[in-house]
Amino acid sequence: MQETRGRVTKDGIRIYEDADFAGMRAAGRVAAEILDMMCPLVVPGVSTAALDDFIREEIGRRGVVSATIGYKGYQHASCISVNHVVCHGIPGTKVLADGDILNIDVTVIVDGWFGDTSRMYVAGAAPRKAERLIEVTYESLMRGIQAVKPGNTFGDIGYAIQAYVEANRMSVVRDFCGHGLGRVFHAPPNVLHYGRPGKGAVLEEGMFFTIEPMVNLGRPETKTLSDDWTAVTRDKSLSAQFEHSIGVTATGCEIFTLSPADKFFHTA
């Protein structure tokens, strides 16, 4: 859709208006509610296709639209990335086993606004090192979010994430990044999950974007499989990701995709 409202910064980043926050809030809430609903469904023995079917049906029941079905030929209502899959895992016949960890990423369009969010889930009980990976990845996202306020830079966000992850002897994926969004799925800027303080574009009130760090237990390199979507760690180490859609406010930011039920990954 052609964007007509607001203005665009010299870095090509759209500045939205106060009233636009309500649209993002509604879209983000739907995406987060659907992720909340997945918690009891993620159990050993379920296929990733069955989880995606539920998401597709729930999107239909709510009368909203999936942003991913038909996006660049993608055919599914979610990406489901299990164990060493970094992102863009395609739901299919894979059946979850006890101890598998997975990211479910859902993007919906509500009244033209895009809500994009992902979280980690565990089928059964994960090994301690997998739990630590999930905890460090979640905390890195929240530290990135804490760096969001007018006058700070995108480099400050990336630095906050990278410094925390590397202090825990894990690695930040460089091959994928967060993105601007709003009335479009992917817009400037590229939100890098690594960086240097003070570098990059300056944050302004009214910017809408995602932060979605992917963190590996081993090395950061990825490769994309022959299906042209599935990204995996080159060294086969476990990978985790969390994603929020946020808007910059006068004093910090608003998270559009917080869990209404205050869940963040599957516990029981």
Q: Of the two residues 67 and 169, which places its CB atom closer to ligand MF3 in the complex?
A: 67
Closest CB 116 distance from ligand MF3, rounded Å: 5
For position 54 contacting ligand MF3 by CB under 6 A, the verdict is no
Number of neighbours of residue 118 by Cβ within 10 angstroms: 25
| Interaction partner, residue 74 (ligand MF3, Co ion, none; CB < 5-8 Å by kind) | ligand MF3
Our measurement of the distance from residue 62's CA atom to the centroid of its chain's CA atoms, rounded to an integer in Å, reads: 21
Stretch that binds ligand MF3, among 35-43, 67-75, 137-145, 198-206 (CB under 6 A): 67-75
Kind of pairing between the strands at 101-110 and 79-82? antiparallel
For position 68 contacting ligand MF3 by CB under 6 A, the verdict is yes
What whole-number distance in Å separates Cα of residue 200 and Cα of residue 29? 29
Stretch that binds Co ion, among 3-11, 102-110, 131-139, 229-237 (CB under 5 A): 102-110
Nearest to 213 by CA among 175, 186, 248: 175
For position 153 contacting ligand MF3 by CB under 6 A, the verdict is no
The encoded tokens of residue 201 equal: 């574009």
Diameter over CA atoms, the chain: 51
Compute CA distances 71 → 47, 80, 107, 241, whole Å: 23, 16, 11, 21
Stretch that binds ligand MF3, among 68-76, 132-140, 150-158, 190-198 (CB under 6 A): 68-76
Q: Of the two residues 72 and 169, which places its CB atom closer to ligand MF3 in the complex?
A: 72
Q: Which of 15, 74, 190, 204 binds ligand MF3 (CB under 6 A)?
A: 74
Compute CA distances 197 → 49, 83, 192, 194, 209, whole Å: 41, 31, 12, 10, 19
For position 105 contacting Co ion by CB under 5 A, the verdict is yes
Q: Of the two residues 140 and 210, which places its CB atom closer to ligand MF3 in the complex?
A: 210
Please, what is the end-to-end C-alpha distance for the chain in angstroms?
41
Which residues of this protein are in contact with Co ion, per CB under 5 A? 105, 116, 118, 210, 243
Contacting residues toward ligand MF3, per CB under 6 A: 68, 71-72, 74, 79, 88, 105, 107, 116, 210, 212, 229, 243
